Amino acid sequence: MRRGIVLGTVVLMLLAAGVVFAETCLSPYIKGLREPEKVMYLWTLPVDGRGSDYLTVIDVHLPSPTYGTILEKVEVGSVGNEAHHMGFTDDRTKIWAASLNTSRFFIFDVRTDPMRPRLIRTIDDVPALTGLSGPHTPYAIPGRMLISMASGPEGTGPGGIAEFTNDGDVVASYKVANHPYETVVKPEFNRMLTSSWAAQKTFMSPRNTWDPKDISDTVLVWDLKARAVIQELKGEPFPLAARWALKPNATYGYTISSGGDSIWMFRMRPDGTFAYTKAASTGTGCAPGDLRQSPDDRYLYVSCIAGSEIQAWDISNPEKIRLHDTVQGMVQANMMHVTYDGWRLYFTNSAISSLDYSPRYALRLIQIGPDGRLKLDPTFVIDFSKAPDGPARPHDMLLN
């Protein structure tokens, strides 16, 4: 506890001195968090469909007497949604939460009272509105939400990107030749990259039934303003999370290949085209699930779903990255969130109901030292396998 208070004091001093931190792994258009987090929103689904999916509200304000506890849960009133990824709108007043299985969108108000979010809209007919299904990641651009959609309206075939207003009105759909997973934008270059995975009916089925033809191995490069694909980058299967370097005008970034146990680097050439090369192996049997970055572009963090560990990679030399540290014993480690100051990494350990192999669901915290070393915090543990209303799978998280 004492270390956290000291770090918080240092952050406030740096802010007063004009030092600016970057909030990592969110759209650059989102109004940034510039102070230590107070509340976490965690998109959660009950195990075995025993109740409504819900947004868990957790106190993460260190000085609070209820620090590290669940404050409330906001139910969405329906089951079987497969709560998965979320995203803030650009003004940080709303959260869009996507459901993989039912293709619904749930919009929460977090402006009126950030500690007590309210469900203000549910969009039920997304496949009919967009011609797409299997929404994965909502991503903010000014006044709009771009949602990566894995497949066509029946849960099969290629997907695309659906565009909505912040309030939830459909704008357009942009169909592509693969199964979009996640989005990353670099406004300086008017470029957007989308990673990929599999069709909805594939990823919602048991792993041993998957057809290799339904698995993507490509990343798409877009002209952002035109909403048009201009290049396809081919690598290894399941290029899931994508992160562009945060520094202004950085021309490079990274993805992970869950099927190839690897990290890949993309880089924009002087002529505007992109190179895509394998940067490192995460080790056989890792099955990378998520990729995060430090605000100073010094480290990448990789979660290993099958390898049950979290890795820190030193990318200070972007062309020759190296493994810096690991924390092991993280059963089914998956989603992560790095704080804006780069000193804390929260993580959950549910991937998707069709793939989870351990019922030991939890939210944990890793402290990141000045030397980039990782240390599991023994005092911050929320055990979702023993949640008050029954076991639940915690997945994506946002901080406010």
Stretch 58-70: mean pLDDT? 97
Separation of alpha carbons 156 and 277, rounded Å: 29
pLDDT of 17 over the 50 cut:
no
Extended beta strands in 235-273, E state:
239-244, 252-257, 262-268
DSSP β-ladder status, 344-348 and 362-368? antiparallel
3-state secondary structure of 251: coil
Comparing C-alpha atoms, which of 362, 340, 334, 344 is closest to residue 92?
340
List all residues 6 or more positions away from 145 whose beta carbon is below 8 Å from its beta carbon. 87, 89, 96, 138, 139, 163, 164, 165, 166
The DSSP H or E segment spanning 9 is helix 2-16
pLDDT at 266: 98
Separation of alpha carbons 259 and 92, rounded Å: 34
Taking only the tens place, the pLDDT of each residue in 318-355 is 999 999 999 998 899 999 999 999 999 999 999 999 99
Separation of alpha carbons 62 and 65, rounded Å: 8
Taking only the tens place, the pLDDT of each residue in 243-275 is 999 999 999 999 999 999 999 999 999 999 999
pLDDT at 116: 97
Q: Is the dihedral of CA 106, 66, 48, 214 positive or negative?
A: positive
Give the whole-number percent of the chain exceeding pLDDT 70.
Answer: 94
DSSP 8-class letter at 59: E
pLDDT at 22: 67
Structural domains for the chain: 2-399 (2.130.10.10)
Separation of alpha carbons 328 and 286, rounded Å: 11
For 31, the token pair is: 């109004």
For 146, the token pair is: 């771009």
Residue with the two structure tokens 């048009």 = 228
pLDDT of 14 over the 70 cut:
no
pLDDT at 21: 58
Residue 203 phi/psi, 5° resolution?
-70, -15
Stretch 86-99: mean pLDDT? 98
Separation of alpha carbons 393 and 137, rounded Å: 18
pLDDT at 16: 45
pLDDT of 303 over the 50 cut:
yes
CA 14 vs CA 1, 20, 35, 341: distances in Å:
20, 8, 11, 10
pLDDT of 1 over the 80 cut:
no
Q: b or e along 181-218 (b: 16 or more beta carbons within 10 Å of the residue's beta carbon)?
A: bbbbbbeeeebbbbbbbbbbbbbbeeeeebeeebbbbb
Q: Is the dihedral of CA 70, 72, 74, 80 positive or negative?
A: positive
Provide, for the chain, the percentages of residues in helix, strand and coil under a 3-state DSSP scheme, each rounded to the nearest 5: 10, 45, 45
Mean pLDDT of the chain: 94
pLDDT at 329: 87
Query: pTM score, two decimals?
Result: 0.94
Taking only the tens place, the pLDDT of each residue in 172-196 is 999 999 999 999 999 999 999 999 9
Taking only the tens place, the pLDDT of each residue in 193-206 is 999 999 999 999 99
